Amino acid sequence: MKAQPDLTQVEKDKLEIDPDFDFREIARRPFEAITPNELAMFKWSGVYHQLQPSFFMIRVVTPGGRMTTRQFNRAVDLAEKYAQNELCITTRQTLQFHWIRKEDIYKIIEGMAEVGITTKNGCGDVPRNIIGDSLAGAGPVQVGDSLKLIRMMADDDEIQNQRNLPRKHKISVASSNDAFAQTLMNCQGWVPVERDGVVGWKFHAGGGLGARPYLAKVVFDWVPEELVLDVTRAAVEAFRRHGNRRQRAHARLKVVVDTMGARKFGELLIDIMKEKGIEGLDRIEFAQSDVPTIGRMYLNGQEVVPQRQPGRSIVRIMIPRSELKTADSRTIANLADELGGGVIMFTNRQNIELHDVPEGNVEAMLGALHQAGFRTDGHEHLPDIVACVGTTMCKMAVSDSPDAYRRLYDALAHDEVYWKSVGTLRINITGCPNNCGQAWVSDIGLRGTRTRNPEGGSTEGYSIFVGGKLSEAGKIAEYLCDVPNDEVVPAVKKVLDTYLAHRESQAERFVDFCERIGVAKFQQLVSK
């Protein structure tokens, strides 16, 4: 299809370049023969060009963050052959391969397809991997069947074939009214509601981070379960029609919802569904208030979580900086088969859960994990740090966030007395304003910066933000201070020590302390 002349180059490319590349054919072409426009469109197949010329990242799609050990072992085999013996867990509950040569891209894609895992829509202006919370289907607090909805959306051609959206589109489905599913930072956020034994769904829309963060609004208080897929489709269609295709910085659904307001956006969805002849729309209830009321996370440091299924448990494993060496991955897969239920779940904090572990195997599982060098304590506390790939691989990053992660972890995460005294805490590090590391919604967020030097060049550093959260109505973290790279550890330590010295009691969480004293007072305290 020939593009209109007044479109932006990105919009022209989406019309003129078929995103379903033949990567076997790409493997035979010289790298120099691949145009920048084609490289950009590789993303629609889950393939990113890395910072390093001729190397690529490949992201797979794992709806809800769930893999069988057979699928996981295939990823491990491919990483061993083609990805320098390493996999990376993303904040959207899936896996990435790094350092892939052009000649090997098709081998990853085809190899994963053989075990039922696709890379289609792993990146690009498409509906991305649909997330939920990693306890879905197994956790002790469940309302309805969120995994069923996630699978429905992931398998729906009308949703997944929307491959010319203004920008990316992100969907989350929670298993209860719990912040763990990150409802408020997604384009669409579904939360189950039970009335008189009947499960319906509350629909939120308009969340998104990036350089300019927005929190989702409540659009519908009640959507009957049989209409959830229709509303999801309508929201994607509304974005396709109304998203800004002239300015990519304003092209997200969050801007559409913020501009229209929740009520008008809901009316738009109803109109789109009426166009399609959908019946029963009078059963959908508009929100009484667009202000969300998301519950606080059920998870708070547990190493083992009893499942709703009697006699079974979830064992949680911390993965440092999300980096999985293939030898360690094989250990996890073997233990999941031998002592668990053969199910691996990836979490939005880049960790792993093993589900369906019989109660009689829990102690053996923990012992084997610890003997293999894995950590199972510290979740949702100071050791549980999230960081993006930073300048090591990303063209957008301005700071080496993995390095900041390692320095913070090495300095603070091994002092159990200290981090337990701090209590619940989530530190997120992002290498650039795009906020892949989700610093906007963490207790302490570090965002990479560069400061120009008078004599030339620039100095790497971080802006520190505090008080972000995704519970209740949510809150975007507020700016506290800037620090050069070599002062990150003492700066974070001072922030935490200030909290410990001025909190009202041990029960006052860091995020509540930030809200009580306000950022201006916090700035005064840390500047002393």
Q: What percent of the chain has a predicted confidence (pLDDT) above 70?
A: 99
Both tokens of 315, joined, read 């064992």
User: Cα(152)–Cα(190) distance, rounded to whole angstroms?
Assistant: 13
pLDDT digits 0-9 by tens, 357-381: 999 999 999 999 999 999 999 999 9
pLDDT digits 0-9 by tens, 99-142: 999 999 999 999 999 999 999 999 999 999 999 999 999 999 99
Per-residue confidence (pLDDT) for residue 457, from 0 to 100? 76
Per-residue confidence (pLDDT) for residue 172, from 0 to 100? 98
Query: C-alpha dihedral over 331, 333, 339, 342, to 10 degrees?
Result: 180
Lowest-pLDDT range of 99-108, 203-212, 254-263, 432-441: 432-441
pLDDT value at 1 more than 60: no
What phi and psi values does residue 121 have, to the nearest 5 degrees? 65, 20
User: Cα(215)–Cα(182) distance, rounded to whole angstroms?
Assistant: 10
Q: Which residue has the higher pLDDT, 445 or 457?
A: 445
Q: What is the largest CA-CA distance in the chain?
A: 70
Q: What percent of the chain has a predicted confidence (pLDDT) above 90?
A: 92
pTM of the predicted protein model: 0.96
pLDDT value at 38 more than 80: yes
**330-340: b (≥16 Cβ within 10 Å) or e:** ebbbebbbebb
Query: C-alpha dihedral over 43, 45, 46, 48, to 10 degrees?
Result: -40
In terms of phi and psi (left: phi > 0; alpha: psi -120 to 50; beta: otherwise), the region of 46 is left
Per-residue confidence (pLDDT) for residue 3, from 0 to 100? 56
pLDDT digits 0-9 by tens, 297-321: 999 999 999 999 999 999 999 999 9
4 pLDDT band (50/70/90 cuts)?
A: low
Token pair 């304590």 is found at 377
The overall average pLDDT reported for the chain is 96
**SS3 at position 133:** coil
User: Cα(250)–Cα(254) distance, rounded to whole angstroms?
Assistant: 9
pLDDT digits 0-9 by tens, 383-410: 999 999 988 888 788 899 999 999 999 9
Please report the DSSP string for 191-260 in residue order: EEEEETTEEEEEEEE--B-SSS-B--EEEEEEEEGGGHHHHHHHHHHHHHHHS-SS-GGG-SHHHHHHHH
**SS3 at position 123:** coil
Per-residue confidence (pLDDT) for residue 262, from 0 to 100? 98
Per-residue confidence (pLDDT) for residue 433, from 0 to 100? 82
Per-residue confidence (pLDDT) for residue 295, from 0 to 100? 97
Domains along the chain with CATH numbers: 9-113 (3.90.480.20), 146-286 (3.30.413.10), 314-371 (3.30.70.3340), 386-527 (3.30.413.10)
53 pLDDT band (50/70/90 cuts)?
A: confident
